[in-house]
C-alpha cells in the first residue's frame, strides 16, 4: 500500500528522531535498523524506502542532532523570562551543559558529547558531520566566552571551552555508576574553572583539588 508524500515525509521524520535518540543512548554500533524502525513504530521493510543504508541514516541523524546541539548553546546564552540577573552568557551555558541533568539524559542532550568517541571510529563522511558540528558549537561558544569581540564581527571559535565542556560530560558518564561522587566532582570543578576563564572571571585556579 502506497503512502502519500506527506505521510512518507512524516515517517522519515519519525525514523530520524528515533535514530538520533537511540544513537545518543547506545552508540552508533549499538543500534540496528530493526531497533530504529521499532522505536519509530514502523516496519523494517519501510526503511529502504527512506534511506539507502544505515550509514546514510547515521549521517543524517547525526547532522540533525548536531544542529540541535548548536541551537541549544545559542539558546542558553539569552536570559529567559526577562530575567536580567541570570548570570553571564557563559555562566548560563556552563550551568546547563556541564550538569548532572545533561550527564544523566543522553537521549535528549548533546550529540557531540554522546557520540564523539564513536565518530572517531566512523566513516570519513560521519566524521565530516562531526567536524562541522564541533566548529559550529565552538563558534557559538565564542560569543559566550572570552573570545567575544567588540566591533560586531563574529567571535572566534572557542575550541578550548568546547573541549572542556564535552570532556567533562564524557568523563562524568564514564564513572557515574561506579563512583557518583567523582562523577559529580568532575562536573563541578570543570564548570567552575571554565567559568573562571570567562570575561567575568579571573584565570583558572591553579592546583585546585589536586
Q: What is the CATH number of domain 54-196?
A: 1.10.357.10
| pLDDT at 150 (0 to 100) | 53
5 in Cβ contact with 50 (< 8 Å): no
Q: What residue ranges of the chain have pLDDT lower than 50? A: 84-85, 146-149, 200-210
| pLDDT at 165 (0 to 100) | 98
Q: What is the pTM of this model?
A: 0.85
| pLDDT at 132 (0 to 100) | 96
| pLDDT at 166 (0 to 100) | 98
If you search the block for the grid coordinates 572566534, which residue do you land on? 156
Report domain extents, the chain: 54-196
Please state the separation of Cα 171 from the chain's center in Å: 15
| Alpha helices for 47-179 (secondary structure H) | 54-76, 89-97, 100-104, 111-119, 124-142, 159-174
How far apart (Å, rounded) are the C-alpha atoms in residues 135 and 157?
A: 7
Nearest to 138 by CA among 193, 74, 68, 60: 74
- 170-209 residue pLDDT tens: 999 999 999 999 999 999 999 999 999 865 444 444 444 4
Amino acid at each position: 500500500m502506497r503512502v502519500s508524500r506527506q505521510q512518507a515525509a512524516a515517517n522519515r521524520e519519525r525514523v530520524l528522531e528515533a535514530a538520533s535518540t537511540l544513537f545518543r543512548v547506545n552508540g552508533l554500533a549499538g543500534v540496528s535498523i530493526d531497533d530504529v524502525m521499532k522505536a519509530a513504530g514502523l516496519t523494517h521493510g519501510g526503511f529502504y524506502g527512506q534511506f539507502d543504508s544505515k550509514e546514510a541514516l547515521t549521517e543524517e541523524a547525526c547532522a540533525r542532532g548536531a544542529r540541535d546541539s548548536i541551537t541549544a548553546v545559542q539558546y542558553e546564552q539569552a536570559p529567559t523570562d526577562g530575567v536580567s540577573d541570570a548570570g553571564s552568557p557563559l555562566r548560563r551555558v556552563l550551568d546547563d551543559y556541564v550538569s548532572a541533568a545533561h550527564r544523566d539524559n543522553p537521549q535528549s542532550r548533546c550529540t557531540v558529547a554522546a557520540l564523539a568517541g564513536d565518530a572517531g571510529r566512523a566513516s570519513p563522511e560521519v566524521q565530516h558531520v562531526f567536524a562541522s558540528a564541533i566548529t559550529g558549537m565552538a563558534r557559538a561558544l565564542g560569543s559566550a566566552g572570552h573570545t567575544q569581540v567588540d566591533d560586531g564581527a563574529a567571535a572566534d571559535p572557542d575550541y578550548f571551552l568546547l573541549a572542556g565542556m564535552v570532556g567533562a560530560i564524557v568523563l562524568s558518564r564514564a564513572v557515574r555508576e561506579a563512583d557518583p561522587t567523582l562523577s559529580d566532582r568532575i562536573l563541578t570543578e570543570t564548570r567552575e574553572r571554565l567559568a573562571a576563564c570567562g570575561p567575568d572571571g579571573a584565570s583558572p585556579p591553579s592546583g585546585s583539588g589536586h
